[in-house]
Amino acid sequence: MSDNWSVVGWQGVSLRAPSDWNLVAVSGEENKGYFRVDSPSSSAVEVRWEAAKQAPDLDAKADIFLDALGKTARKKRISFSSRVKSRKPTPAEEKYGGDSVGFTWKSDRSAYGRMLYCGYCKRLVVGQVVSEPKQDLSGLSAAILGSICEHADPGWNTWGLYDLQVPVPESLGLKRHSLMSSFVELEFAGRGERLLVQRWGLAANTLLKKTSFADWLANSYLRGIEGYRVVAASVEDPHEALAFEGRRSLLKFLLSTISRLRGKSMPRSVTGRAWYCEDSNRIYAVRHYHRGDSGLDPVLRDKIKCH
């Protein structure tokens, strides 16, 4: 069932869903947050998380969650029924510990859900697939819900959205994001380092209409790396690709006071990769600012599957 599924992930909470289901909302942070993924019809999966040092009583938590939904429904004079059931441990629960219970509810919408305490990321997570009562999404829901918090690549968080899956070291936290189908940008920061991942959609139709990829990189992309003396060279890759590296330049460093005043740290070095994927008609770029040896950008290049 899940061959063509994609990973949707935010702040280290991820799941697998059919690839035509799309991330439509994100909010919050690592300690408390939410995302929603919509199907092309009227179903959706919603996920909420909250940091918890210890495993709570999941049955009790599920009851509280369902009672609140029931109260809201009754206020609107809509019928509401629900059930909590035990669940078999997932492979991730067997590996990392943690536990979960399943639940269902029926009202003007119906849902299959899973409330879990993740032994890996130490969070209480509630996921539910909500649909029209007539739709039978039991099999699909079980597969989606069972994939929450798989943590398949320990040490890395998968940030997954709009057909883009970027594994990022857990030590780097999200600082800024811009999510559009034509342009996705994720900026992360950790101690003395900063990582910028960008993807341009519709590359050939718009960005590369009147210019080659190499020229676009030189004129539009590399020039945006302010405060560094950057050199770039093409690199072996299945795609037209370029690797670049730069050292902080004193003159440029002084000239870029403005960006320092904006609160951006300027580590000694920057390294990165950019490539044009003709198959998906998208441009990808990974830029890592760091103090010494990085090695992160070639690893990310390998981990990011572009088509």
Tokens encoding 271: 């390294």
Q: Which residues contact 159 (CB under 8 A, 6 or more apart)?
A: 9, 10, 165, 166, 167, 168, 174, 186, 197
277 binds Zn ion (CB under 5 A): yes
The burial class, CB within 10 Å (0-12 / 13-18 / 19+), for 224 is exposed
| Secondary structure (DSSP) of 8-51 | EEETTEEEEEETT-EEEEEEE-SSEEEEEEE-SSS-EEEEEEEE
State how far the Cα of 29 lies from the Cα of 132, in Å rounded to an integer: 30
Q: How many residues bind Zn ion (CB under 5 A)?
A: 7
Binding-residue pattern over the window 242 to 271 for Zn ion, x denoting contact by CB under 5 A: ------------------------------
DSSP code, position 19: T
How far apart are CB 101 and Zn ion at their closest, in Å?
16
115 binds Zn ion (CB under 5 A): no
Backbone angles phi, psi at 287, to 5 degrees: -130, 125
CA dihedral 224, 226, 230, 236 (to 10 degrees): -40
Binding-residue pattern over the window 129 to 168 for Zn ion, x denoting contact by CB under 5 A: --------------------x-------------------
The stretch among 1-9, 36-44, 132-140, 273-281 that binds Zn ion (CB under 5 A) is 273-281
How far apart are CB 13 and Zn ion at their closest, in Å?
6
Closest CB to Zn ion among 90 and 141?
90
The stretch among 30-38, 58-66, 117-125, 288-296 that binds Zn ion (CB under 5 A) is 117-125
How far apart are CB 19 and Zn ion at their closest, in Å?
16
Among 23, 118, 232, 242, binds Zn ion (CB under 5 A): 118
Dihedral sign (CA 67, 69, 70, 74): positive
- The strand pairing partners of 241, in sequence order, are 275
- CA triplet 208, 221, 293: central angle to 5 degrees? 135
66 binds Zn ion (CB under 5 A): no
Closest CB to Zn ion among 121 and 243?
121
Interacting positions 288-307 with Zn ion (CB under 5 A): 306-307
How far apart are CB 79 and Zn ion at their closest, in Å?
34
The stretch among 118-126, 156-164, 178-186, 257-265 that binds Zn ion (CB under 5 A) is 118-126
- Provide the total of helices (H) and of strands (E) in the chain, helices listed first: 7, 18
How far apart are CB 97 and Zn ion at their closest, in Å?
11
**Binding residues for Zn ion (CB under 5 A):** 118, 120-121, 149, 277, 306-307
